[in-house]
Amino acid sequence: MTLTNEQIFSTLVLPYLNHAVRMYEASYASSPDIDAAMKFGCGYPQGPLTVIDELGAATVRDQLAARFAETGDHLHEPAELLEKLATEGRTFAEEAAGAEAAAPELKREIRKVGVVGTGTMASGIVQAFAQAGYDVVFVGRGEDKIAGVVSFIDKGLAKLVEKGKIDEDTKSDVLDRLTGSTEREALGDVDIVVEAIAEDLAIKTELYKDLDRICKPGAILATTTSSMPITKLGEATSRPESVIGMHFFNPATIMKLVEVVTTADTGADVNETVLALCANVGKVAVSCGDRSGFIVNCLLFPYLNDAVTLLESGAASMDEIDAAIKEQAGFPMGPFQLLDVVGNDVSLAIQQELFAEFKEPGFAPAALLEQKVAEGALGRKTGKGFHDYQ
């Protein structure tokens, strides 16, 4: 039996909405931040809690209850807060009313920014800070890597000149703010270091020990990690209160979202400074704590995994699922299109992390996703994933 578009929506989007309620219920992130994260991190027309307000908490609760009765999956059981709002006839907008915080301020002076790394993400971060008027020192493993960053930024700025968004003088000013080095010691006088190196805890830990030695007192040490425990990085230093997550989204020059991730040790002044810094760079910052997936990955990847499970069931085809989600939810891509863009290997790794952290049976990676990775069908980057691009 092929499911209708509405049934596909219910199967995949309702659990996603329920996860978002539970995230808010657990005080992990505020409702505006959860909504902003999914809007600016995934390009969704609305955040999940706004969607619930539009559909009605009672409607969402009743549809989830029906799914829970059918599947017995704890993840489909309506969250307690959803029950409460439905019973009281209240909305998340009302729940969040009056909770708006004052605009964050720089509690520590930020004049010079350091970046460690020379990949696409690091290069984009360097460009974003330099375009916002900051002097940036970036460190890489060789002169060729340093030249690669400058070339990347030069090309990016040239496109902006072509489009009439900046002029040649502005381009020249941005490039003049860049200083590349192969020595970490060049970071000695920066006010904040943003690390964007390989997702390997041992390599990152070694770097943080070094940065602790090199960077001046009061300098903030930030990581762009999307998966490593930031608390562990702080523990590698003598200044865990100055260690924080700044999870930029790729491409960093275009994507507005930054997840600002605090550990139990991160100082309130550091958190507020980083939130204000993000605003100064033209980013939308959302706050959350140090646990697997942060906001976006924790809500996005179980939904993608559920889509693979639905395909495995034979109840709908890949094209039917993609089309239904775009039509019913208004998401910019269907789940299989997105999986192929992200990379099935990346998606599997994130889902495995979520499963390990939350121990939810419903988070177990779908067998077909594991199979695609085993076959090397990783998505667009290999020419074949769920779709064939060859």
Out of 10, 77, 242, 259, pick the active-site residue.
259
Q: Domain boundaries in the chain?
A: 5-97+295-382, 112-289
Q: Write down the pLDDT at residue 102.
A: 83
Q: Nearest 5°: phi and psi at 109?
A: -70, 130
Out of 30, 31, 226, 344, pick the active-site residue.
226
Task: Tell me which DSSP letter residue 105 carries.
Answer: -
Task: Calculate mean pLDDT across residues 104-109.
Answer: 96
pTM value is 0.95
Task: Calculate mean pLDDT across residues 142-155.
Answer: 97
Name residue 204's amino acid. K
CATH number of 5-97+295-382: 1.10.1040.50
Tokens of 31: 């409702």
Going by DSSP bridges, is the β-strand pair 243-248/257-262 parallel, antiparallel, or unpaired? antiparallel
Is 18 one of the annotated active-site residues of the chain? no
Q: Write down the pLDDT at residue 95.
A: 84
Residue 326 has pLDDT above 80, yes or no: yes
Strands (E), 284-389: 284-289
**For the chain, percent of residues with pLDDT exceeding 90:** 96
Looking at 200-295, list the stretches that DSSP marks H as alpha helix, in order from N- to C-terminal side: 201-214, 230-235, 268-280
Q: Which fold has domain 112-289?
A: Rossmann fold (3.40.50)
d(CA 87, CA 59): 11
Listed residue (255, 208, 214) closest to 229, CA to CA: 208
pLDDT digits (tens, 9 = 90+) for 178-198: 999 999 999 999 999 999 999
d(CA 301, CA 346): 10
Out of 247, 271, 292, 305, pick the active-site residue.
247
Chain centroid offset of residue 126 CA: 18
Q: Under 8 Å CB-to-CB from 373, ≥6 apart: which residues?
A: 344, 345, 348
pLDDT band (50, 70, 90) for residue 1: low
Q: Three-class SS of residue 238?
A: coil
Out of 242, 287, 292, 297, pick the active-site residue.
297
Is 305 one of the annotated active-site residues of the chain? no
Listed residue (131, 112, 250, 245) closest to 181, CA to CA: 112
Is 247 one of the annotated active-site residues of the chain? yes
Is 30 one of the annotated active-site residues of the chain? no
pLDDT band (50, 70, 90) for residue 99: low
pLDDT digits (tens, 9 = 90+) for 227-257: 899 999 999 999 999 999 999 999 999 999 9
